[in-house]
């Protein structure tokens, strides 16, 4: 751990967050927007965000509920194989969509509208290049015979390599990269960057599967071996501008995480995500690179300016609230009930 007691950094962003919808959105909006400036909100709602009108409606709802000056949501189009390309072209041209999100079918929550045949997305990818907008990818191949822990590698070797070969100038984000293999691939590939979550730098598969399944540590892509965790820490903390913050904070009601067979994947880290990143960078003696990872690299990739204001983090022990609740909704917070050594000073 370092000798630092106080840090002042440019307000962080979050380039991958789930805010959900309806009562769940109202429950998580304050903790999810408490500190971040710009964020990319995932479009995998019950009715996915596939059109300009759905996007504008969702963005307006988020802004009204957030009610803070510094917070700005961006939304990518949920790619489907029968997308309205005229509307998609218009929405990219008017900066309604920040880019497009590719979910392989069956890979995660609400991905049943996603892609089965990658080649069916090529007309949409051509429009992304035309408008200089990025493709955001949930990089997992979910098919019979593929081991849960090999899904990321299989997607990279098959689908992602095919996309890169066909569209070498397309800007791509491999989101929530979860393996050493994936992080090395990002590092060695032009026009490809990656987001890294706090949980992929804190958990291994033993934290999920240890005689029983810990639903609160169950996410997609699944956390992997210690070797993967260490590689992700090294890349995140190195100052390498190909990697940046993306919490993949993904709330689910407690009844979808406990005491059931069909557990929904997702870890809700918003109530302490910046503090977790700070702790990790402190452990890796890399606090001098924290601001690049949280506040600069992502904006640079997306062609946006860093936030104008700053936040203060102080070395101070505190206990993360165990739950986020509102009405009859109860969500278990990642690290809930546990002690952290860094805290945001409001």
What do you get for the CA distance between the two ends of the chain, in Å? 24
Q: Is the peptide bond before 315 cis (omega within 30 degrees of 0)?
A: no
- Rounded Cα–Cα distance for residues 243 and 289 (Å): 11
The catalytic residue among 248, 282, 309, 321 is 248
CA 105 and chain centroid, separation: 18
- Rounded Cα–Cα distance for residues 159 and 144 (Å): 16
- Rounded Cα–Cα distance for residues 43 and 20 (Å): 9
Identify which of 310, 307, 288 has the alpha carbon closest to the alpha carbon of residue 299.
307
- Rounded Cα–Cα distance for residues 55 and 48 (Å): 9
Q: What is the DSSP string of 123-140?
A: HHHHHHHHTT-PEEE---
User: Is residue 311 within 8 Å of 68, Cβ to Cβ?
Assistant: no
Element (H, E) at 184: helix 180-187
SS3 68: coil
DSSP state letter for 272:
G
- Rounded Cα–Cα distance for residues 264 and 260 (Å): 10
- Rounded Cα–Cα distance for residues 251 and 329 (Å): 11
- Rounded Cα–Cα distance for residues 203 and 222 (Å): 10
Element (H, E) at 38: strand 38-41
DSSP state letter for 249:
B
Burial 306-339 (b: 16+ CB within 10 A, else e): bbeeebebebeeeebeeebeeeebebbbbbbeee
Q: Catalytic annotation on 184?
A: no
Identify which of 84, 160, 173, 158 has the alpha carbon closest to the alpha carbon of residue 124.
84
- Active-site positions read 248
């Amino acid at each position: 751990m370092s000798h630092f007691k106080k840090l002042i950094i440019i307000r962080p962003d979050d380039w991958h967050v789930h805010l959900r919808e309806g009562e769940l959105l109202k429950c998580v909006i304050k903790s999810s927007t408490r500190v971040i400036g710009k964020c990319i909100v995932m479009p995998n709602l019950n009715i996915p965000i596939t059109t300009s009108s759905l996007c504008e409606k969702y963005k307006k709802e988020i802004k009204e509920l957030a009610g803070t000056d510094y917070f700005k949501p961006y939304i990518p189009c949920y790619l489907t194989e029968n997308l309205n390309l005229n509307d998609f072209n218009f929405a990219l041209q008017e900066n309604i969509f920040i880019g497009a999100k590719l979910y392989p079918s069956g890979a995660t929550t609400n991905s049943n509208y996603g892609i089965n045949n990658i080649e069916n997305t090529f007309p949409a990818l051509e429009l992304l290049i035309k408008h200089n907008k990025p493709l955001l990818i949930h990089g997992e191949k979910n098919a019979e015979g593929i081991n849960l822990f090999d899904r990321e590698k299989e997607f990279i070797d098959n689908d992602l390599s095919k996309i890169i070969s066909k569209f070498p100038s397309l800007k791509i984000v491999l989101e929530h990269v979860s393996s050493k293999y994936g992080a090395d691939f990002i590092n060695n590939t032009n026009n490809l960057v990656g987001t890294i979550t706090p949980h992929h730098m804190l958990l291994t598969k033993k934290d999920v599967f240890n005689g029983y399944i810990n639903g609160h540590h169950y996410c997609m892509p699944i956390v992997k071996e210690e070797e993967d965790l260490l590689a992700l820490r090294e890349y995140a903390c190195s100052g390498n501008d190909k990697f940046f913050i993306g919490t993949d904070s993904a709330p689910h009601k407690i009844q979808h995480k406990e005491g059931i067979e069909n557990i929904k994947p997702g870890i809700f880290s918003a109530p302490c995500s910046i503090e977790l990143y700070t702790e990790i960078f402190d452990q890796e003696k890399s606090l001098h690179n924290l601001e690049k990872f949280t506040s600069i690299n992502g904006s640079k990739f997306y062609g946006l300016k860093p936030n104008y204001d700053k936040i203060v983090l102080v070395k101070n022990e505190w206990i993360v609230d165990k739950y986020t609740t509102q009405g009859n909704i109860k969500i278990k917070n990642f690290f809930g009930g546990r002690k952290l050594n860094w805290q945001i000073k409001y």
